Amino acid sequence: MKLTFEKYIASQGLKMTRQRGLILEIFLKKEGHISPEELYSLVRKKDATVGRATVYRMLKLLKEADIAREVDFGDGFSRYEHKYGHAHHDHLICTKCGKTMEVVDEEIEALQEKLAGRHGFSLTSHEMDLFGLCPECREKEARVKRQPPG
């Protein structure tokens, strides 16, 4: 993965730097998605001199190098996840506690292709986010109903 990035960097006539190495390392360690701000704060813990702009610029680069994927839960800020050991997947998002799960359903994937095909589209990517209540929050909800406060 690091190699992939170095190859990309070289192919574009760009340069490898201490900052890029550090950001990449931390980004790859993080499973699931991470916001630029979270990443920035993790990076700062290791090296407080790195600037916020560098993190943003690096994320853009990672996307171009096809190492990161940008996801958007529509809550006002972006998130990124690396593709290492992470094939494409969709998200189950709890609207109460914010927990997310990565899921894939091959049947759905296939139907998406068919659906697009029926309209003459050729698909390059998709994003599917399913919002609802996670098991824990459903349980809590049920408990509240049984015994209302007050």
Partner DNA sequence: TTCACTGCAAAAGATTTGCACCCTC
Partner DNA sequence: GAGGGTGCAAATCTTTTGCAGTGAA
**Sole binder of DNA in the list 8, 28, 42, 54 (CB under 7 A):** 54
**Sole binder of a second copy in the list 1, 9, 28, 92 (CB under 8 A):** 92
Q: Can you list the pairs that 64-73 forms with residues at least 24 positions away whose Cβ atoms lie under 8 Å?
A: 64/8, 65/4, 65/5, 65/8, 65/9, 66/4, 66/8, 67/1, 67/4, 67/5, 67/8, 68/27, 71/33, 71/127, 72/127, 73/100, 73/129
Nearer to DNA, 12 or 121 (CB): 12
110 is a contact residue toward DNA (CB under 7 A): no
3-state secondary structure (DSSP) of residue 140: helix
Kindly identify the residues of this chain, within the stretch 57-76, that bind a second copy according to CB under 8 A. Answer: 70, 72, 74
Contact track, DNA, 17-36, x by CB under 7 A:
xxxx--------------xx
Please report how close the Cβ of residue 139 comes to DNA at its closest, in angstroms.
31
Give φ, ψ of 82 to 5 degrees. Answer: -85, 160
For residue 73, give both structure tokens: 């839960």
CB count, 10 Å around CB of 77?
11
Q: What amino acid occupies position 132?
A: G
49 is a contact residue toward DNA (CB under 7 A): yes
Give contact residues for a second copy (rule: CB under 8 A): 70, 72, 74, 78, 92, 94-95, 101, 103, 105, 107-108, 111-112, 115-116, 119-135, 138
Give contact residues for DNA (rule: CB under 7 A): 9, 13-20, 35-37, 49-54, 56-58, 60, 76-78
